[in-house]
Amino acid sequence: MSNEQVIQKTKEYVAQKFKSGGAGHDWWHMYRVWKLARRIAATEDVDMFIVELAALLHDIADWKFNDGDVEAGPKAARAWLESLTVSEDVIVKIEDIVRNVSFKGAHVEQNMKSREGKVVSDADKLDAVGAIGIARTFTYGGARDRPMYDPDVKPTQHQSFEDYKTGNSHTINHFYEKLLLLKDKLHTKTARDIANHRHKFMEQYLDEFYKEWEGEL
């Protein structure tokens, strides 16, 4: 099976599996990350086949929806790629990207090793900022029955993945616990250039939100 056929079958598989997914982690999230990863990869010295596959499979079994199991994603990616008889060396690289792609807390070190992984990580982070990032954050908060905002509950800068994983604050805090931190955690120049505009939009949104909250606008 050619690389193009593997990518096409993977697109079809992920689109079908997540066609009714909610909480901001549906097929269209995977689609946007795939498109962004292709855009970023075009400016980097990377293996496009690995970038595209990893982007499509990066959320195949997200720990947030699998009882916190960070190995659920790599296992699911491996099972799918083995069914397509993809080579072992490619599968290992995809597993590592899927395992390490997620943000795990403000002060938790990123462990992405490969250039391909850094491209996919950047694409995934970009989909968590800007107008789409705002929409996804409130969608996820609503799905988890989290309050929109509570001015008495301040954000936490998580020191460990366990603290981040078990956190359950209101949605506005998530901006300070994750979204506004992402711009400075990107690896590639292309992603940083895209992030600058999206980051400013989030800051403007928060300024508007607080003024409306207090009845000033």
In the chain, what are the domain boundaries? Answer: 3-213
- In the predicted model, is pLDDT for residue 148 greater than 80? yes
Confidence grade of residue 151 (pLDDT, cut at 50, 70, 90): very high
- Helix runs in the chain, H state only: 3-17, 27-41, 48-57, 72-83, 88-100, 115-126, 130-143, 161-166, 171-177, 189-213
Note the pLDDT of residue 107. 65
Highest mean pLDDT among 5-14, 61-70, 109-118: 5-14
| Residue type at position 1 | M
Contact of 201 with 130, CB cutoff 8 Å: yes
Confidence grade of residue 165 (pLDDT, cut at 50, 70, 90): low
Confidence grade of residue 125 (pLDDT, cut at 50, 70, 90): very high
The pLDDT tens digits for 87-122 are 999 999 999 999 998 887 766 777 898 999 999 999
Q: Which of 175, 182, 176, 172 is nearest to 210 (CA)?
A: 172
Note the pLDDT of residue 58. 94
Largest CA-CA distance found in the chain, in angstroms, rounded: 61
Measured CA to CA in angstroms, residue 116 lies from 37, 103, 120 at distances of 9, 17, 6
What is the rounded distance in angstroms from the CA atom of residue 107 to the CA atom of residue 161?
9
- The pTM of the full predicted model, rounded to 2 decimals, is 0.91
Confidence grade of residue 61 (pLDDT, cut at 50, 70, 90): confident
Note the pLDDT of residue 206. 98
Contact of 154 with 173, CB cutoff 8 Å: yes
The pLDDT tens digits for 19-53 are 876 666 789 999 999 999 999 999 999 999 999 99
Question: For residues 52 and 160, which has the higher predicted lDDT (pLDDT)?
Answer: 52
What is the rounded distance in angstroms from the CA atom of residue 34 to the CA atom of residue 38?
6
Section 72-78 average pLDDT: 92
Measured CA to CA in angstroms, residue 61 lies from 66, 117, 118, 147, 155 at distances of 7, 17, 19, 26, 27
- In the predicted model, is pLDDT for residue 185 greater than 70? yes
Could you give the percent of the chain with pLDDT greater than 90? Answer: 73
Could you give the percent of the chain with pLDDT greater than 70? Answer: 93
Lowest mean pLDDT among 47-51, 63-67, 111-115, 168-172: 63-67
Contact of 104 with 83, CB cutoff 8 Å: no
| Mean pLDDT over the full length of the chain | 91
Whether domain 3-213 has CATH 3.40.50.880: no
